[in-house]
A and B are shown apart, each in its own frame.
Chain A
Amino acid sequence: MFDAPQIGRSVPRKEGHAKVTGQALYVDDVMPPGVLHGATVRSPVARGRITDIRFDPAIRWDEFVVVTAADVPGTNAVQLIMNDQPYLASGVVNHPEEPVVLLAHPDRARADDARRHVTIEIEPLPAVFTIDDSLTKREIVWGDDNIFKSYSVSKGTVDDAFAGAALVVEGVYETGAQEQLYIEPNGMLAVAGPGHGVTVWGSMQCPYYIHKALAGLFDLPLDRVRVVQMETGGGFGGKEEYPSMIAGHAALLAWKSGRPVKMIYGRSEDMAATTKRHPSRTRHRTAIDRQGRLVAMDIDFTIDGGAYCTLSPVVLSRGTIHAAGPYSCPNVRVRARAVATNAPPHGAFRGFGAPQSLFALERHMDTVAHAAGLTPDEFRRRNFVRPGDTLAVGQTIHEPVNMGALLDRALALSNYRAKRERFARENPGSVVKKGIGLATFMHGAGFTGSGEVHLASSVAVEAARDGTVRVLTSSTEIGQGTNTVFSQIASDALGIDAADVDVVQPDTAVVPDSGPTVASRTCMVVGRLVELAALAVKHALIDAGLLRVVYTRAEFQAACERYVDRFGTLRETSRYTPPPGLRWDDEKYVGDAYGTYGWAAYVAEVSVDTRTWEVRVEDFVAVQEVGKVINPTLATGQIEGGVAQGIGWALYEDVVWREGRMANAQMTNYIVPTSMDLPSIRVHFEEVPYPNGPGGAKGIGELPMDGPAPAIFNAVANATGVDATRLPLTPERLMEQMEASIA
């Protein structure tokens, strides 16, 4: 009979054995004979004209492969959205660390060292380093006006609503850049040549992004380019679009030399030169009525995109759509823009604009609550969106969301009310002040609007003669559990054991394009396609009369054998179709922005040592409704990891900028939490199955990034009375604020 259903069980990680024994192969673990090591010579200044490139005669350059922009066979621009970012600077540089020259040598140390012997002479041009500078347009550093993209969302009549409002509350909130700090740095191995084409292996989230990029770089047809994902040591968005750059670099060196080339970034280089989370500034103006209900929200949202466009328009989009949060408000305006500065381009990082706008919103909601004389939770309760309400972009919520119940659960689990009372009593006499704060929010799963339709993802499932099944997708395992979750989904659909399902290594020569591994879409969107393709395999066997509706594993194997012998390959492909009833207008930016949302309420308890202004998170509760939990251990791991990154972003992770360069590009100086810095993170799931997700699942990967920072800041405000509005809240900044508030 059927094995027990795999969905809902904590099936152990499929590649867990390989990972705990050190057998899992990451790109730097592969050492092909004759491989050359690549290194990148980068711009020392933020902006300027390249006047000369000089090679120190003390180095034996004949031992090296040297590549510049002149060596690019095809188009010297990374294919993404605006194709404005060159692989190698030519003529001008627009940010510190911009790649200019590539070197390769059989000895890695010599390749690294040779970088210091190439001098790039640059005539500096005035550079722009802040959002404000960019907006003044005193210096235009991109396009005509320094604006990569802007959006304007409008619901109701905001200006009229402000006119008659009982109370108006304003606030300005800023967030800093954040480095993804995957513990495995970016790395690629390339083999390339006019005869063979280009093949790269490496650390990545999106094989098909690289595939398309390399085809453009080398002016090759797509079938002459092959991209293979190796075990990838963390991504978090930092390996969404950036890998196209390093893959292109390794391939250019391989193309020129005829030898395999491996390029592995050093940690400092990776931190300084690759993408980070977009810094942001949000202005809120909020009107409420005498009952504390939201009447109007006017939101101005700006993100700093760095020197080139990369994914800024999409980050801006998501930030814009999430800017008004899980609240019902009849009049909302969001004006948003992504601006150019001369920093290394910012890019994808878990949450992708939503953590920035939700930080501002959830901090502001506490300030509004306070002005209205309501507690943070009561104010939110009066304003939560309910089924039938519309969000700011005009999306009517049909799913049975119950934010009030989620909030209640979070408050109960965290002992919120009792603690708030106790802290209020005990803080006045105490050097260490304690506080508790909350944040309520949602996160849309899948690509925005018509994005999934444009991706047109597909998945194939193949049954072999021996009854084992292969799942072919381009979704990558980067630690989040793709392989395991897909096995569970496929095995349940087929009524077999997860051990009989093999999720094939993503290789563009083998797997179809299922879209990128981003946007919390892998389980929900691609997993659903896996489910459909697996069901199609089952139905093919049943329709061929080889399998009854209810069958054993042995019968399944026998059916596969007979099918393959009689008909050949048993392979079914599923292709994305949007759920019925979703409507989105790309031009007006109105409609059903996401198929569904994860909904959450987080509570943070903090202690603030008033001698050192250090903030510690003492306890953390994360409650979320995520559809169906496919694998509790993996899902819990996602929330815990996301919360940890959120805590890091809120309190510790400060990117120190000097003239557009990250000055603290070392793990010693860029501070992520250690095991000693994090509390117990208590995770609770509510399950309300989402009909269009596999087994009812929604996407969850990014949701946990949105809540921790505002919850922590709200807790600090509760502990100290100080309303910090700038992230990260380092002890130095808290000290400044606390001393200012005493003065």
Chain B
Amino acid sequence: MPDAAIVRVTCTINGRRTVLEGHPIERLLDALRHAGLTGTKEGCGEGECGACGVLVDGELVNSCLMPLAHVEGRAVTTIEGVASDETLHAVQAAFVDCGGAQCGICTPGMVLAAYDLLSRNQDPSDEDIRVALAGNLCRCTGYQRIFASVLEACRRSGR
């Protein structure tokens, strides 16, 4: 690609100031994965499955639909940034204990969607959980163990 087409976008990724290089219309998903953050997955490329979910300034987005240029000056959280050092976040630990992950490919996006929900609503109802996760497709679990994991994460977080 001609050098003129490449931009350098400064953002924060998982708390660390990062410069992502790429074409401005390049999908954030690809920019993240090329930077070694392969935890964010591509399931469909159409914004339907949610496997590419990340947080941008605390809001859940499908990184397959976000151009790199739009992340300038913003804070991105990927699955790699959810755990603190070696300690799993309550959501992640609950997913492990309650069977929320089977094949695991939807799990990063699903964890971020749950994390996003709990950051806005610490005591979600069953319906709240279903609505919050409606943009994340899972083919393995039928969602049941995922709901159980989210509820368990709430319970452990002291609700």
Contacts and interface: CB of A to CB of B under 8 A. Distances in A.
A665 B99 CA distance: 30
Contacts of A29: 33, 38
Contacts of A267: 43-46
B42 to A, nearest CB: 7
Contacts of A480: 102
20 contacts: A16-B96, A20-B108, A24-B104, A28-B42, A183-B106, A183-B138, A184-B103, A233-B103, A479-B140, A633-B98, A637-B102, A637-B140, A641-B140, A641-B142, A645-B142, A667-B43, A667-B44, A674-B135, A675-B134, A681-B144
A236 B139 CA distance: 9
Interface string A125-160: 000000000000000000000000000000000000
Interface in A644-670: 644-645, 666-668
Nearest to B82: A21
B103 A234 contact: yes
B139 A637 contact: no
A20 B46 contact: no
B136 to A, nearest CB: 7
A627 B82 CA distance: 39
A602 to B, nearest CB: 13
B101 to A, nearest CB: 4
A20 B88 contact: yes
Interface in B109-158: 111, 129-131, 133-147
Contacts of A481: 102
A194 interface: no
Interface core residue of B44, B79, B108 (most chain A CB under 10 Å): B44
B57 interface: no
B41 A666 contact: no
Given A183-B51, A236-B139, A637-B141, A26 B133 contact: no
A645 B139 contact: yes
Contact of B143 (A22, A633, A644): A644
A53 B40 CA distance: 38
Contacts of A266: 45
A22 B139 contact: no
B130 A676 contact: yes
Given A22-B79, A675-B133, 20 more contacts: A13-B96, A15-B104, A17-B88, A17-B96, A20-B111, A22-B38, A26-B41, A184-B103, A233-B103, A234-B103, A266-B45, A267-B44, A481-B102, A634-B99, A637-B99, A640-B141, A667-B44, A675-B129, A676-B131, A678-B144
Interface in B25-39: 33-34, 37-39
Given A26-B105, A267-B45, A636 B96 contact: no
B104 A233 contact: yes
Contacts of B44: 183, 267, 666-667
A181 interface: yes
A643 B41 contact: no
Interface core residue of A19, A644, A667 (most chain B CB under 10 Å): A19
A19 B80 contact: no
Contacts of B83: 21
A25 to B, nearest CB: 8
Contacts of A13: 96, 99, 101
Contacts, number: 165
A23 interface: yes
Contact of A182 (B98, B103, B108): B103
**Chain B residues touching A, majority SS:** loop
Contacts of B48: 666-668
Query: Chain B interface: which size bin?
Result: 35 or more
B145 A640 contact: yes
B103 A16 contact: no
Contacts of A26: 41, 105
Contacts of A674: 134-135, 137
A234 B105 contact: yes
A182 B105 CA distance: 9
Given A181-B139, A234-B140, A633-B98, A20 B130 contact: no
A85 interface: no
B145 to A, nearest CB: 5
Contact of B104 (A10, A231, A643): A231
A400 interface: no
B108 A22 contact: yes
A20 B107 contact: yes
Nearest to A235: B103
A475 interface: no
A12 interface: yes
B12 interface: no
Interface core residue of A24, A183, A479 (most chain B CB under 10 Å): A183
Contacts of A340: none
B63 interface: no
B99 A19 contact: no
A478 interface: yes
A680 interface: yes
